[in-house]
Amino acid sequence: MTDDLEELKKKTSRDDRLSETEEDDEEDEVAYTPVEDVVLRENAEQGVKTLREQTERSGRVEGDDEPDEVQLSQYEELFEEESPVDDPYCGNCDHVTFRKHNGEPGPHCSFFDLKTLLESGMVCGDYEPQTHGGA
Amino acid sequence: MRRPSRVATFIDKGGTGKTTVAAHLGVALSEAGDDVLLVDLAGKQGDLSKHFGLWDEVEESIAEDDDWPNISTVFQDEWDIIVEKLGDAAVQDLILETDEGPDVIPAHPGLDSLDAELGNIDKPSERYSRLDDFLTEYVDPLGYDVILVDLPGITNNVTYNGLWATRNVVVPVEAGVFEASQLAALEEDLDKMDENFGVDVGLSMVVPNKVDRRTKLADEYLAEFREAYPEVVARPVPVSQEIRNAANEGRTVFDVEEPSRTGERARKRFADNADELRSRIADKPTRTGVEAVSDD
């Protein structure tokens, strides 16, 4: 067997893949069925929508009181840089230690970050899943 | 080139005889003249291979470190490159011949971690279409008439790959309240797959399995299944010690020379059901293509 085939074999063989999966397990990675995907996605979308509405409402009030004050977002406080996306939070809670799906610190709470959080129990105590939408 | 018909055996419950039904339908189709490939995704224990006395061969290859590539490899990102380097042998080596007609791609311990690995693929259309891609590109050209995939008795990413690829499902059920509720849950799940992903998986056949007509309960459940699924309930397969004995000997009841009465009846029922199944899955296109699937 040639070296590159040996390499492919090593990479795609059970022992090697298992060790990767075990590492993933430590990060509480989980597999999702399509139905769970949809439910989680709806939760995330609804959460973002709710947060946006809340932000718009509070923005109007705060804007009247202190028009010149610039508040750092939780993302900016945590990562000391501007969020690369418009809405960095999932909207379901104020928890900011979101991770990417691969377990690394992530720039924002994407759909998969939320899934990781939900399954790993890392969401804050205030969060309640909303399977039918609504905040 | 004509596409093979594809079908999966599945219900989210253990012990209903999924693998037994897959093996026997496979042999029945084969005896009726079809070229059949059985694919075992049901778990590392390799029960489908055991039905044909092939598991020792698989275990030997594992012991001798001669088990690569295997069925779990075809789900990996590197599969296309592996085929490029190994050529046709990569696919041919996956397939074992049986003495009873069908060919088999046996299970492998690598299936153990497959669900979690697939879960790490973000896009649903990539996560659930791996088996479909493999069958379409590498197995369909081999000229089989029917590809029958035996799935795990649990709903996970491997299961969805099987349903996604086959678009037809045969559901073996025992006469019991849990099977009735699992069957209803499966129907809901299939509807959601269609609604959310544009993947239309048809309930092709419900096979009442291990039916003991001497009990009143069995008759009652059979009547219920027929009322709930009048178009897809198959002929009930009787409970038979002969099937268990044959499995222990590494064969199906079709290979038993002088079967008992129940063994004979089971054989006939499987043959009838295989005929019916062929006509049902032949009417339905197997694959509508992953391009219809949304990643949203």
Segment B191-211, tens digit of pLDDT: 887 887 778 899 999 999 998
pLDDT in the model for residue B246: 94
**Distances in Å between the alpha carbon of B107 and those of A27, B24, B112, B243, B281?**
28, 17, 10, 21, 24
pTM metric for this prediction = 0.71
Contacts of residue B42, Cβ cutoff 8 Å, sequence gap at least 6: B18, B19, B48, B107, B150, B151, B152, B153
Q: Which two tokens stand for residue B132?
A: 């479909």
End-to-end CA distance of chain B: 33
Q: How confident is residue B83, by pLDDT bands cut at 50, 70 and 90?
A: very high
Q: What is the mean pLDDT of chain A?
A: 54
Residue spans of the domains in chain B: they are: 5-292
- Per-residue pLDDT tens for B230-256? 889 999 999 899 999 999 999 999 999
Contacts of residue B97, Cβ cutoff 8 Å, sequence gap at least 6: B103, B104
pLDDT in the model for residue B177: 72
Q: What mean pLDDT do residues B102-125 have?
A: 92
In one letter, which amino acid is B85? K
**96-125 of B, contacting A, C-beta below 8 A:** 108-110, 112-113, 115-120, 122, 124
Residues B160, A101: C-beta atoms closer than 8 Å: no
**Distances in Å between the alpha carbon of B100 and those of A6, A79, B26, B278?**
35, 64, 9, 19
- Per-residue pLDDT tens for B136-173? 999 999 999 999 999 999 888 999 999 999 999 999 99
**28-57 of A, contacting B, C-beta below 8 A:** 29-35, 37-38, 41
Please give the Cα distance from B156 to B115 (Å, whole number): 6
Q: Which two tokens stand for residue A48?
A: 């973002």
Please give the Cα distance from B225 to B218 (Å, whole number): 10
Please give the Cα distance from A37 to A119 (Å, whole number): 12
Q: What mean pLDDT do residues B215-241 have?
A: 87
Q: What is the CATH number of domain B5-292?
A: 3.40.50.300
Within an 8 Å CB–CB cutoff, is residue B128 touching chain A?
yes
Over 80: is that where the pLDDT of A129 sits? no
On whether the CB atoms of residues B53 and B106 are closer than 8 A, the answer is no
pLDDT in the model for residue B195: 81
Question: How many angstroms away from the CA of B104 is the closest CA of chain A?
Answer: 21
Span of B11-25, B30-44, B176-190, B276-290 with lowest mean pLDDT: B276-290
pLDDT in the model for residue B197: 76
- Per-residue pLDDT tens for B38-67? 999 999 899 999 999 999 999 999 999 999
Nearest to B289, CA basis, from B137, B141, B114: B137
Please give the Cα distance from B89 to B149 (Å, whole number): 21
Among left, alpha and beta (phi > 0; psi -120 to 50; other), residue B276 is alpha
Q: What mean pLDDT do residues B123-138 have?
A: 93
Candidates A9, A24, A34; nearest CB to B196: A34
Pairing mode, if any, of strands B168-173 and B36-40? unpaired
10 Å Cβ neighbour count for B202? Answer: 17
Query: Packing angle between helix A3-12 and helix B79-86, nearest 10 degrees?
Result: 150
Q: What mean pLDDT do residues B262-284 have?
A: 90
Residues across chain B: 296
Interface probe with A: pick from B62, B71, B83, B117, most Cβ of A within 10 Å: B117
Nearest to A92, CA basis, from A62, A65, A122: A122
Within an 8 Å CB–CB cutoff, is residue B192 touching chain A?
yes
